[in-house]
């Protein structure tokens, strides 16, 4: 029988490996930001926020917390999306204007860029909003 000694096996837990720097992820804010970037539930940080590209789960599939706290809850994420869109589109528009491209090419590039980045902006604006809201007004896991 092949019995392995746990002290000689390489550890798969990166948080215990001193050569791996994960210190920012150990803080509550770091864990919340990591969950936000991975589009995870703001409460349990495990369940996915989205079931498809543009469709969110009503409740967390892992802990069951409802993502939409009240009617119109995602209105603030629209403001976040507006700012994110501005930060993405304006540098491209300025660069294209500096290169003196034609109006048709300018419009085509900006429209294409908007269509490509819009789903990302939508998802991250909602994720950022639900995580900021969780930090400002924390909720406990309903399953605990």
Stretch that binds Zn ion, among 6-14, 42-50, 67-75, 92-100 (CB under 5 A): 42-50
| From candidates 49, 56, 63, 121, binder to Zn ion by CB under 5 A | 63
Question: Counting Cβ atoms within 10 Å, is residue 42 exposed (0-12), middle (13-18) or buried (19+)?
Answer: buried
Stretch that binds Zn ion, among 31-39, 40-48, 77-85, 97-105 (CB under 5 A): 40-48
Question: Counting Cβ atoms within 10 Å, is residue 33 exposed (0-12), middle (13-18) or buried (19+)?
Answer: middle
| From candidates 49, 60, 84, 128, binder to Zn ion by CB under 5 A | 60
Closest CA to 93 of 112, 79, 121: 112
Q: Is residue 62 within the footprint of Zn ion (CB under 5 A)?
A: yes
In this structure, is the dihedral angle defined by the CA atoms of residues 4, 11, 38 and 88, taken in order, positive or negative? negative
Question: What size, in residues, is the chain?
Answer: 144
| From candidates 35, 36, 44, 128, binder to Zn ion by CB under 5 A | 44
Closest CA to 126 of 73, 63, 66, 70: 73
Q: Is residue 47 within the footprint of Zn ion (CB under 5 A)?
A: yes
Could you please report the per-residue DSSP string of 79-109? Answer: HHHHHHHHHHHHHHHHHHHHTT--HHHHHHH
Stretch that binds Zn ion, among 56-64, 77-85, 111-119, 122-130 (CB under 5 A): 56-64
Kindly state the smallest distance separating residue 52's Cβ from Zn ion, in Å: 18
Q: Which is nearer to Zn ion, 63 or 128 (CB)?
A: 63
Q: Which is nearer to Zn ion, 57 or 88 (CB)?
A: 57
- How many residues line the site for Zn ion (CB under 5 A)? 7
Instruction: Please report, as ranges, the residues that interact with Zn ion according to CB under 5 A.
Output: 41, 43-44, 47, 60, 62-63
């Amino acid at each position: 029988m092949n019995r392995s000694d746990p002290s000689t096996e390489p550890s798969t837990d990166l948080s215990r490996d001193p050569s791996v720097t994960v210190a920012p992820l150990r803080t509550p804010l770091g864990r919340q930001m990591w969950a936000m970037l991975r589009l995870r539930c703001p409460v349990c940080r495990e369940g996915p926020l989205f079931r498809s590209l543009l469709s969110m789960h009503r409740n967390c599939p892992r802990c069951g917390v409802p993502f939409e706290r009240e009617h119109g809850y995602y209105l603030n994420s629209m403001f976040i999306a507006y700012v994110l869109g501005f930060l993405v589109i304006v540098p491209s528009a300025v660069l294209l204007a500096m290169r003196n491209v034609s109006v048709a090419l300018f419009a085509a590039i900006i429209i294409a860029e908007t269509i490509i980045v819009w789903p990302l902006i939508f998802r991250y604006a909602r994720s950022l909003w639900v995580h900021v809201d969780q930090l400002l007004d924390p909720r406990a896991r309903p399953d605990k």
